[in-house]
Chain A
Amino acid sequence: MRSRVLACTACHGKEGRATPGGYFPRIAGKPAGYLYNQLLNFRDGRRSYPQMSRLLEHLTDDYLREIAGYFAALELPYAPAAPAPASQALIERGRQLVRHGDEGRKIPACVQCHGDAMTGVAPFVPGLLGLSRDYVGSQLGAWQTGQRRAQAPDCMAEIARQLTVEDVGAVSAWLAAQAVPGQGKPAMSFKGELSMPCGSVRPPHASAPAAGREAR
């Protein structure tokens, strides 16, 4: 399998371990369902990144699931966090939003869905640590503008639209400065109820918005 995914690791780092210094996100060790959903999203146009879409254009669901599983199963050490220069006030605002959200503005705490340790919840919710500030910031921005979408109901799009530019800067600065605990392993279940319905948190086959494309 390793040689079959060399097309991925050229950008996502050796064995899918991109560092927080670069832009491309690490994919090694991310939950399999999350990775699979993202591969489908790129192929089917819900996420917009031409290089990814073109690479995946002619790949089947089965093969994408296998690729996702391969990277999810990799256990590789994380590089130390790379804190970006940011004011103490901004960092504190980021911590506050991630840990507690902002009920008045209908912003749930990130940890509610992404796990207390923010290493994600298997198999569908990704971890938020070990990523570059630029990557996290631009993903939140992409959700605000509709450049990044997920299966409906698109919970992250709804949440991201509640965030101001300053919120996005604060959250991404704080997350990028955190060390990754416990080898970044995702939690196995949610602690409580999800704060809102999420289309990507369910078996992908139950949703399959591209039904009818039996060619895949």
Chain B
Amino acid sequence: MNAARVLLGWAAGCVVLAAAVGGGVAALNRLDEAALPADEAALPATPGAIARGEYLARAGNCMSCHTRQGGPAYAGGRAIDTPFGAVHASNLTPDDATGIGLWSAGEFWRALHNGRSRDGRLLYPAFPYPSYTHITRADSDAIYAYLRSLPPVEQPNRPHALRFPFNTQAALAAWRALFFRPGVLPEQPARSAEWNRGAYLVLGLGHCAACHTPRNALGAPRADAAFRGGLIPVQNWYAPALTSPHEAAVGAWPVEDAVALLKTGVSPQATVSGPMAEVVFRSLQYLDDADLRAIVLYLRSLPQEDGPAPPAARPSGAVMEKGRDIYRQQCAQCHGEQGEGRRGAFPALAGNRAVLLADTTNLVQVVLQGGYLPATAGNPRPHGMPPFTQSLRDEEIASVLSYIRNAWGNEAAKVDTIDVYRARERRGS
């Protein structure tokens, strides 16, 4: 009798708790979200607004994800691979049936700001609304006007291919309750207008944190580690820390050099590769110098960490010898006998921080896949590196990389065959 009453009490408690949690999650999912006016007046799509929207869409790099390889611009279809499955980017052209033809400006804003689709469903944060939520309503309206000016393309959206439970709205609501808070970025009055502009571009439209901030086990950017670098899962490239002078911080560079890297893909100190080459190619090269300077100014203000390098296991003499032989045969022609490179053509490897990164993923990727720098207006005829995925074995790549990281005054941990093997396996090449 007593036991039954206790059980009943527990059950009731659980129901109340579940309702409270459910209510809490639901409330958290509605933060900063006003009801949409039913009869919203159409915005005047002036040529000025459309041009501004195009520029902002570039700054947000919308096209990269919302266009499949060789497909019509902004018509969607590209798969964004995540550890939870693939999310397929949607059609942003103004086609009524398959695109955003029936969307109002308010609905478009709600997608960017609240991560909620026209039909009320929650959107997956592979669409980087945790960053886009910082975009102002005026900028959202301009992007909307631009997208509405595109030729409509009839291309149905591909359903996402996410695993259970990540494919449920309930899981998404719980994730958002834990990790997502909508809100336009507050102006920092103590900082200059240029700094504020930079913060807006980096934290909002540019969604730099999507790659450069490490993520937790549930795929949410870690609030305690902003811009401290992280492995981009599945794509398998390491986005270096913007806070570390050993990785990708630009605090010690002349501002012009950092601007040049973002605008052209090359600077005296570094070149872009992997996913960053795409960002420069499709987005950053189109930004005006004032915005690029603002971005650099903001990046220079990030807290810098200059911890001592972790103790590193060095390669053996035999590995160095083997690596040197391969280097002379395969690499020296372009990168020079002393790793000095050739200015304006091939990067120096001696003292190159991309070569010395503690995380060797990118290094292995570059050797396996090769790659051209992005062909930008500022560097329209770039040089490139051949892929070695077929001509060098894993062990050879490990040896030559170990050598490069420890020759000509370079000092860094050796690369093991298993590191190369892992990169190859994850990349599937």
Contacts and interface: CB of A to CB of B under 8 A. Distances in A.
A55 B372 contact: yes
Given A213-B67, A213-B73, A4 B383 contact: yes
A133 B429 CA distance: 24
Nearest to A7: B384
A62 interface: yes
Interface string A29-57: 00000000000000111100011011111
A58 B386 contact: no
Given A4-B382, A6-B383, A210-B70, A215 B281 contact: yes
Contact of B372 (A11, A50, A59, A209): A59
Contacts of A212: 72-74, 150-151
B370 interface: yes
Nearest to B373: A58
A45 B383 CA distance: 22
A11 B386 CA distance: 8
B374 A51 contact: no
Nearest to A210: B70
Contacts of A53: 69
B70 A46 contact: yes
Interface residues of A, number: 33
Nearest to A63: B375
Given A4-B383, A6-B334, A57 B278 contact: yes
Nearest to A12: B386
A88 interface: no
Contacts of B43: none
Interface residues of B, number: 41
Given A8-B386, A215-B282, A51 B370 contact: yes
A3 B384 CA distance: 9
B380 interface: yes
A215 B73 CA distance: 9
A43 B63 contact: no
A79 interface: no
A10 interface: yes
Interface in B379-411: 380-391
A50 to B, nearest CB: 6
Contacts of A8: 384, 386
A56 B372 contact: yes
A66 B369 CA distance: 23
B383 A55 contact: no
Interface string A57-89: 111101100100000000000000000000000
A10 B386 contact: yes
A11 B151 CA distance: 40
Contacts of B245: none
A4 B69 CA distance: 24
Contact of B386 (A6, A50, A59, A213): A6
A58 B370 CA distance: 13
A193 interface: no
A54 B70 contact: no
A211 interface: yes
Contact of A55 (B74, B380, B384, B429): B384
Contacts of A215: 63, 73, 281-282
Contacts of A103: none
24 contacts: A3-B334, A7-B372, A7-B383, A9-B386, A10-B370, A10-B387, A10-B388, A10-B391, A45-B68, A46-B70, A51-B370, A51-B429, A54-B369, A55-B371, A55-B387, A58-B372, A58-B374, A59-B372, A60-B380, A211-B72, A212-B150, A213-B67, A213-B73, A214-B73
Interface of A: 3-11, 43-46, 50-51, 53-60, 62-63, 66, 209-215
Closest 10 CB pairs of A and B: A44-B70, A10-B386, A7-B384, A58-B374, A212-B73, A45-B69, A58-B281, A45-B70, A51-B387, A60-B375
Interface of B: 63, 67-74, 150-151, 277-278, 280-282, 333-334, 342, 345-346, 369-375, 380-391, 429
Given A55-B372, A214-B73, A215-B282, 20 more contacts: A3-B342, A4-B345, A7-B384, A10-B387, A11-B386, A11-B391, A45-B68, A45-B69, A55-B369, A57-B278, A57-B372, A58-B281, A58-B372, A59-B382, A60-B380, A63-B375, A63-B380, A63-B382, A211-B72, A212-B72
